[in-house]
Chain A
Amino acid sequence: MLRPKEMTKIVAVGGKKDRKAVVDALYDLKALHIKEHTPAELDIGSPLEQANDISEALIKSEAILSLWDEDVKGTKTHADTIKKTLRTINKIHDRVHNESEELRTRQKRAATLKEELHTHKILSKLKLTPEFFALDSVAISVGTIKDKGKLKEYPANTHTDQHHTYAAIAVPKEDKDKALQDLATKGFTEHDVRVRADEKTVEQEFKAAVNAKREAEKQLAQTKKEYLDYVQSATQFLRQEAIKAQVPLTFAESENIFYVTGYVPTEDVLVVTQELEKAAKKRLHVQTLKEEDEKEIPIKMEHPGLVKDFQFFQNLYALPRYKELDPTFFTFMTFPFLFGLMLGDIGYGIITLILFLFMKKWMPKFSGFYNIIILASVWTILFGIFFGKFFGSDYLIVWELPRVFHRLYDVMEVLYFSLFIGILHINFGLAIGFFNEYKSHGLKMAILEKASWWVLQIAVAIIALPFIAQTLTAPETTGSLWLFEPIVWLAQVLEPAQPFLGYGLLGLAVVMIILGEGVIGAVEIPALVSNILSYARLFAIGMAKASLAVVVNQFANGFMLSMGWWGLIPTTLLLVFGHTINILLGLLGGFLHSLRLHYVEFYSRFYKGGGKRYQPFGTK
């Protein structure tokens, strides 16, 4: 749980005859993360023998599916071989292609006839009969015009419907072109209105064409219903086969032998070896290798149930490296803690808990993410008890809630508490970093790089001790902290060694940091102060939320006092609306800032990241 899963690098060597069987076995095992072979002494392999057939069939079946506007859903079984599938898909593809072509032709014919019918109707509306077009000295020009008024100089019939204004204009045949040009400037567009036959014939033809079109559509739908299942299962099968056919490009191959190199979780090596040997009928050899470059090893994080949902944060940021500690468990411990500290209200916690429990039932797709918020809600309730707040008020109906600090009045205490949490969190990160460095670079480097920061903090604490003790023993100090006694006692004990102890340790710490991390480390010293102060946002956001809740409550109080029992409805609305906004802001802000504190302040103490994800052959 604290480290990524242990991986073993294996290489499987076999004869080219068994390639297909081995590839099938690998695909079903879903355990080998293949390391691609770079062509050196041995060249990369060539695709499996039936790759061409598979590609041809896959292209056609994808085309059929897109024509039908469908996709493959769920898992389907497919029993045919590749050759038979190719033949069947070809047959279906030709049929579907022909039928859709036929449909297109009939659609066009119906559209053309519709146009003709429309022309007939216009001619009748404009009161034109065939004799008008057979005159000697006058030509009739029919078309559309935008503005009827521009036709004043010409004798014309007009008809307006919802789309256009149609006009039939009489122009003298000799000056036809000049007249048409003049009309064009006025916005007149001429249409061709020569008709083939009379209206009745055209109408009959149109009805027949529409029927034919419907027939073609029915035929297409029929074909689809008959073959949809087969095409879907064939497409899924072909997609998988295409992936399998291409994988030998990652193998190393000579004339008769192929090598496949990859990573398998150590606990699965035996099973994988047995399955591969069985598939190749014992004509295969599997050997484990030692991996020198740790950056190549793929990362598979493994965690028990609830902790697994916090992998979401790692996927968002960066996967851990192979040998370093996996921060998911630590995030699981501290993220809800900081979230709860910022929200800190019993009522809000209960509301978010119930809300996200419901969301898990309605939209189970993101239930991992909901689990994170549910855990954070539990901590919110706990901190609500700590701060004694229920929907912003200090009273649960009428009984005053007990509390350790008051969010709004014990300002300085809450601030010191947040900074204290910050110091704990950052030192926790340093401890993890110390462990990581110890494992990878030995004790001396670990002490110089990480323990030096602890010496620095102790040195600063010792230097500041007299001043703190002075403030604490001054007569006007108030507050509920019980740490006063030990601090004052410690200041008295260390009195004779001041100031040498403090400044001496400080110098030692700076030297250690420079030795451990270089001059950049020394420049980072103010960054430590800024990182600790960054945790003051826990105090700030908490106070903002509490203040907003108190304001909403006071408004509601005002309503009730001034309006008596009539104020019940607006008060309820105000309370619901105000607290909902507060909860939404709190969820967003708490999540974001808690996450930022982890990513920036916590991780920068120990996390390097940059691992490659474990993607075994056979999974998407």
Chain B
Amino acid sequence: MADINTALIAIAAASAIGLGAFASAYAEKAIGVATIGAMAEKEELFGKGLVLTVIPETLVIFAMVVAILIIGMA
């Protein structure tokens, strides 16, 4: 269990998901702020706004897939 190969694999998987999550959060932050601002003026935009806000979710989902594949290497 405790050898350098496993450690590197663990670090790789963790950085994959961590950086991916950071990217996704950064993208969704700006869109989310704009959505809430638009909703404050017009309540009906909630649905569209929600869908647009979660579009960058694909970044972190692909990152998670990569992390799982990396762990599968161990």
Contact = CB atoms under 8 A, between A and B. Distances in A.
Given A318-B44, A610-B44, A599 B61 contact: no
A426 to B, nearest CB: 14
B64 A530 contact: no
Interface of B: 44, 46-47, 50-51, 54, 57-58, 61-62, 64-65, 68
A609 interface: yes
A53 B68 CA distance: 75
A316 B47 CA distance: 9
Contacts of A534: 57, 61
B50 A609 contact: no
Given A596-B54, A600-B54, A318 B61 contact: no
Contacts of A604: 51
8 smallest CB-CB distances across A and B, nearest first, come from A530-B58, A533-B61, A318-B47, A317-B47, A600-B54, A600-B51, A599-B50, A530-B61
Given A536-B61, A536-B64, A600 B46 contact: no
Nearest to B71: A411
A540 interface: yes
12 contacts: A317-B46, A317-B47, A318-B47, A526-B58, A530-B57, A533-B58, A534-B57, A540-B64, A596-B50, A600-B51, A604-B51, A609-B47
A599 B47 contact: yes
A316 B46 contact: yes
A324 to B, nearest CB: 14
A609 B62 CA distance: 30
A596 B51 CA distance: 9
A600 B52 CA distance: 9
Nearest to B58: A530
Interface residues of A, number: 18
A512 to B, nearest CB: 24
A466 B51 CA distance: 35
A596 B55 CA distance: 12
A594 B68 CA distance: 23
A217 to B, nearest CB: 44
Interface of A: 316-318, 415, 526-527, 530, 533-534, 536, 540, 596, 599-600, 603-604, 609-610
Contacts of B58: 526-527, 530, 533
A316 B46 CA distance: 8
A599 B46 CA distance: 10
Contacts of B51: 599-600, 604
A609 B47 CA distance: 9
Q: Which of A527, A533, A604 has the most chain B CB atoms inside 10 A of its CB?
A: A533
B27 to A, nearest CB: 14
A410 to B, nearest CB: 14
Contacts of B47: 317-318, 599, 603, 609
A533 B54 CA distance: 13
Nearest to B64: A536
Nearest to B53: A600
Nearest to B45: A318
A534 B54 CA distance: 10
Nearest to B61: A533
Contacts of A526: 58
A342 B21 CA distance: 20
B45 to A, nearest CB: 10
Nearest to B51: A600
A533 B46 CA distance: 24
B6 to A, nearest CB: 17
Contacts of A415: 68
A364 to B, nearest CB: 27
Contacts of A540: 64
Nearest to A599: B50
B71 to A, nearest CB: 9
Contacts of B50: 317, 596, 599-600
Contacts of B57: 530, 534
A609 B46 CA distance: 12
A506 B20 CA distance: 30
Contacts of A603: 47
Nearest to A532: B61
Nearest to A319: B44
A386 B68 CA distance: 24
A318 B54 CA distance: 18
Given A526-B58, A596-B50, 8 more contacts: A317-B50, A318-B44, A530-B58, A530-B62, A536-B61, A536-B64, A540-B64, A603-B47
A609 to B, nearest CB: 6
B21 to A, nearest CB: 11
A534 to B, nearest CB: 6
A282 B46 CA distance: 47
A534 B64 CA distance: 10
Contacts of A599: 47, 50-51
Contacts of B62: 530, 533
A536 B58 CA distance: 12
A600 B57 CA distance: 11
A534 B62 CA distance: 10
Nearest to B59: A530
A530 B65 CA distance: 11
A11 B2 CA distance: 82
A352 B65 CA distance: 33
Contacts of A536: 61, 64
Nearest to A607: B47
A533 B69 CA distance: 14
A536 B61 CA distance: 8
A596 B57 CA distance: 12
B13 to A, nearest CB: 13
Contacts of A596: 50, 54
A318 B46 CA distance: 8
A415 B68 CA distance: 10
A298 to B, nearest CB: 15
A415 B44 CA distance: 35
B50 to A, nearest CB: 6
